[in-house]
Amino acid sequence: VVVVVVVCCLKMLMVPRLFVGGVQRVSNVMRCATQLRTMATNFEHLQVSVEDGVGQITLYRPKSLNALCDELMREMNVVVDEFEANPDVRVMVITGSGKAFAAGADIKQMVPRTFQEVYSGNFLSFWDRIAHATKPTIAAVNGFALGGGCELAMMCDIIYASEKAKFGQPEINLGTIPGAGGTQRLTRAVGKSNAMELCLTGDIISAQEAKAMGLVSKVFPADELMPKTMELAKKIASKSQPILQMAKEAVNKSQELSLHEGLQYEKRLFHSSFATHDRKEGMTAFQEKRKPDFKDE
């Protein structure tokens, strides 16, 4: 059993208390700490922490380069559900332990499975919970992100990578194809030609190549990856939560709708922001040349 590192929210009590609608959020902080302590006892394949509004999930299967399996993904779904429900978690970060983000799905677990088993059981059907999170998600890819690992990273909203990161969909070398979004999300991220080449050859590309294709936002030296990722996460966490969710929803819809439909969808969400306190506060603060005081309302 892995000892789960939990950075609870207690130290937030040492800073000015946060307010929502004039009510102090100290009880939320204490509930956050209690929830994470309870969750920690159940995790075998993850390390979980919460700090300064950022919930971090670290994949922890060091003997298998963090290979993904049903058990790990079930644990992740539990954490994502908890983070979604916790008002003190505003952004989620996923990374891997050791020299891998996730080297793929656990092949040893897949070898004995049959068509009837995977088809009737809808294998991988619950592996994409993070893709449906309403809060912003960031993948910090510290090493190998292959197969299911690359697919997991692509389920996140933003991908940061270290210079040592490697990406690829090598399923073709195993006599199968990607099954958790590799043919679909990859194509949308890097274009048909690049995606087709990666899926048909199983080639592995560097972080720099992934950035040039548009798969990765930024690449950093290995020792700067997590500090830079947390800097980004905290910057995003400082914004209005409902407006963040509107922006995320609008961008994600661009992958599913025609341009005309997407523009209409965007306009409706833009109009909806005028029903919020934070839209008025943000514009007023701009006029008054001060920092906005968002209330998540």
User: Over the stretch 154-188, which tens digit does the pLDDT of each residue have?
Assistant: 999 999 999 999 999 999 999 999 999 999 999 99
Distance CA 77, CA 1 (A): 19
| Residues assigned a catalytic role | 105, 148, 151, 171
Q: How confident is the model at residue 121 (pLDDT cuts 50, 70, 90)?
A: confident
Beta bridge partners of 47: 58
**Stretch 252-266: mean pLDDT, rounded?**
95
Residue carrying the six token digits 């309302």? 297
Rg of the chain over Cα atoms, rounded to whole angstroms, equals 20
Contacts with 134 (C-beta within 8 Å, 6 or more apart), sequence order: 84, 245, 248, 249
Mean per-residue pLDDT of the chain:
88
pLDDT digits (tens, 9 = 90+) for 29-70: 445 444 554 455 478 999 999 999 999 999 999 999 999 999
Q: How confident is the model at residue 135 (pLDDT cuts 50, 70, 90)?
A: very high
Torsion of CA 37, 39, 45, 49, to 10 degrees: -50
Alpha helix positions (H), the chain: 26-40, 70-85, 107-110, 115-120, 148-155, 185-190, 192-201, 207-213, 225-237, 241-253, 259-273, 277-287
- How many of the other CB atoms lie within 10 Å of CB of 21? 8
The mean-pLDDT minimum among 10-19, 66-75, 83-92, 198-207 falls in 10-19
- How many of the other CB atoms lie within 10 Å of CB of 232? 20
- Find out whether 197 and 215 touch, Cβ atoms under 8 Å: no
- How many of the other CB atoms lie within 10 Å of CB of 198? 28
Distance CA 157, CA 285 (A): 28
Q: What angle in degrees, to the nearest 10, is found between the helix axes of 277-287 and 241-253?
A: 100
Q: Could you tell me which of 208, 28, 79, 59 has the C-alpha nearest to residue 139?
A: 59
| Residue 88: per-residue pLDDT | 94
How much is the pTM?
Answer: 0.85
For residue 152, CA distances in Å to 17, 147, 259 come to: 35, 9, 27
